[in-house]
Amino acid sequence: MTDLTRLKAHEMAALLRAGKVSARDLVAAHLAAIERQDRALHAWLAVDRAGALAQAVEADRTIARARAEGRAALDALHPMLGIPVGLKDLVSVEGGQATAGSRILEGYVAPFDATVAARLKAVGAVIVGKTNMDEFAMGSSCEHSAYGPTSNPWDLARVPGGSSGGSAAAVAAYHVPVAIGTDTGGSIRQPASLCGIVGLRTTYGRVSRYGIVAFASSLDQIGPFGRDARDAAALLHAVAGRDDRDATSAPVEVPEELLRLPESDDEAASYLKGRRIGLPREYFAAGIDPGVAARVREAVAAMEQAGARVDEISLPHTDYGLATYYIIAPAEASSNLARFDGVKYGYHDRSSGDYIADYLATRGAGFGPEVKRRIMLGTYALSAGYYDAYYLKAQKVRTLIKSDFDAAWAAGFDAICAPVSPTVAFRIGEKVDDPVAMYLSDVCTLPINMAGLPGLSIPAGLSEGLPVGLQIIGSPFSELSMLRLARAYEGITARAPWRDLDPAELHLTDDPSTPSPMERMRATRAAARA
């Protein structure tokens, strides 16, 4: 029998409905892969073996009931039924951990389900476990996780990206076919790009954030990872839509067509005819690796050849994105993270002094270095005398960044294509002690968050043997069109030699003597000191 973990989720769904495989077998195969390989990968912070098997048995019962009822009942089942899913460890699942990659939430047990988790349970998806992440989603490499870094299955000495690096690595390594991440400045798209999978940051308001640990509330969004556009679309369909418990979730209909992206490559490719694609010259400026720029230009040329109309455009305020983001996001974080006071939940360090000393000790010991850096930046930017110069200024520049994109949509462009990450995956330890170098990893993704737009990363080949993502940026709530475009790109590159390659070092994770990412990080540190 073929290895079930290698299938796409839509292929698993077809086998489940045909009665050729059970959800229990499916989840057991994935659990076995995780148990065998995750020491060397460290994509997971928690695996709920018993819970996943129980959910799978329940899914099998649902399928059996539907089969007894007939074809219509089987067809009505959601494609995520019985499919193993990973959740970034900032999504609350009742009775489980939600560390957000931080010591300050170690031991916390979520007393309720996030809306995303509740919706996945409602369609019968099987929640396998919680994936590693940079602490409070602050980082681009997973090295800022308090629980140790994650490796990239393409090169185990390199990072998977971040902050949703655990979810991306788990999907790339066939530990799950799909996973949930969050994206505040690039935290879905950049790891998707670095791991060679599809990742979609949705429009602000598309998915309810109820039950998600907050980082920057005007920028955070949830989205799906998958190994192809169809799987990402199906997972998005399961979790998207208005939720009364999140006032920022938008009353916008979730299109059923998300479940009907074309199966045939030719039919998918025909979507490109007449589509207008903008290529922003600022995203190909200095600092972008030539190999990355080349793959993105080739991808756009292939779409043009298949019938798309491509024009170079200008998004003139792109260069201001990084500074604007690194004022607004830390300011919102410093406010959001004020809730960690050691009283209601989380780590508590009882000092011998007064209540202020109690807070200082709790927060000083509970937060890691990157989180402290961002809280400091945000507190400073919001403090008396600096508010106008930093925070207000940044909010005004945000208006300009958003208006750049508004102009492109008004000019009739269907999508904007750009690089996702300026580089391929970098080495563990390479940027961890240089905050500004790390922040530059998100220079091509964070303007999209500033404008509240959806952005997608889809594999577009390799550079230096490592994956490169093509970014497709869409107008608000145009996820369906973006996924059709992504599916069309898959269609025209279906026979490309880099398609469906195994991550180059995935096989090494089967070897128990392969070092863990933490061991690699310690070795890098020791070498740097010597």
**Subset of 249-288 contacting other proteins (CB under 8 A):** 250-251
Rounded to whole angstroms, how far apart are CA atoms 168 and 154? 12
Angle subtended by helix axes 393-410 and 321-336, to nearest 10: 120
Minimum separation from the CB atom of position 444 to other proteins (A): 16
The terminus-to-terminus CA distance of the chain in angstroms comes to 50
- Maximum alpha-carbon separation in the chain: 71
- Residue 413: helix, strand or coil by DSSP? coil
Report in angstroms how near the CB of residue 287 gets to other proteins at its nearest.
Answer: 13
Residues whose CB is less than 8 angstroms from the CB of residue 2 and which lie 6 or more positions away in sequence, other chains included: none
Asked if residue 256 lies in contact with residue 102, where contact means CB atoms within 8 angstroms, the answer is: no
Burial (CB < 10 A; 0-12, 13-18, 19+), residue 40, is buried
Rule CB under 8 A: say whether 170 interacts with other proteins: no
Please say which residue, 205 or 469, places its beta carbon nearer to other proteins.
205
Known catalytic residue at 88: yes
Question: Does residue 21 interact with other proteins by CB under 8 A?
Answer: no
- What's the CA gap between 200 and 226, in Å, rounded? 9
Q: What is the 3-state secondary structure (H, E, C) of 59-75?
A: HHHHHHHHHHHCHHHHH
Q: Which amino acid is at 407?
A: A
Which residue is catalytic, options 102, 140, 163, 475?
A: 163
Interface region with other proteins, contact rule CB under 8 A, candidates 167-175, 188-196, 367-375, 484-492: 367-375
Nearer CB in complex with other proteins: 344/495: 344
Nearer to other proteins, 86 or 476 (CB): 476
Is 377 one of the binding residues for other proteins (CB under 8 A)?
A: yes
372 tagged catalytic: no
Cα 139 to Cα 412: distance, rounded to the nearest angstrom = 35
Give the span between the Cα atoms of 143 and 253, in whole angstroms.
38
376 is a contact residue toward other proteins (CB under 8 A)? yes
**Separation between Cα atoms, residue 419 and residue 423, nearest integer Å:** 9
Q: Among the candidate windows 178-186, 264-272, 381-389, 422-430, which touches other proteins by CB under 8 A?
A: 381-389
Q: Which of 345, 427, 501, 524 binds other proteins (CB under 8 A)?
A: 345
| Of 96, 165, 205, 474, the one binding other proteins by CB under 8 A | 205
Among 435, 501, 504, 523, binds other proteins (CB under 8 A): 435
CB 425 within 8 A of CB 160: yes
Q: Is position 116 an interface residue for other proteins (rule: CB under 8 A)?
A: no
Return phi, psi of residue 200, to 5°: -125, 115
Give the interface segment with other proteins, choosing from 16-24, 134-142, 223-231, 366-374 (CB under 8 A).
366-374
- Catalytic: which of 92, 167, 187, 481? 187
Q: Which residues of 448-458 are buried (b: 16+ CB within 10 A; e: fewer)?
A: bbbbbbbbbbb
Among 8, 348, 522, 525, binds other proteins (CB under 8 A): 348
Q: How far apart are CA 471 and CA 182, in angstroms?
A: 16
91 interacts with other proteins by CB under 8 A: no
* 396: contact with other proteins by CB under 8 A: yes
Site for other proteins in 489-508 (CB under 8 A): none
Q: Which range touches other proteins (CB under 8 A), out of 49-57, 131-139, 223-231, 398-406?
A: 398-406
- 375 counts as binding other proteins under rule CB under 8 A: yes
400 touches other proteins by CB under 8 A = yes
- Phi and psi torsions of 513, nearest 5°: -90, -5
Binding of residue 372 to other proteins (CB under 8 A): yes
Give the distance from CA 119 to its chain's centroid.
18
Select from 361, 501, 504, 518 the one that contacts other proteins (CB under 8 A): 361
Binding string, residues 214-253; x marks residues near other proteins by CB under 8 A? ----x-------------------------x--xx-xx--
Q: Among residues 346, 447, 459, 503, which is the contact residue for other proteins, using CB under 8 A?
A: 346
Residues identified as active-site: 88, 163, 187
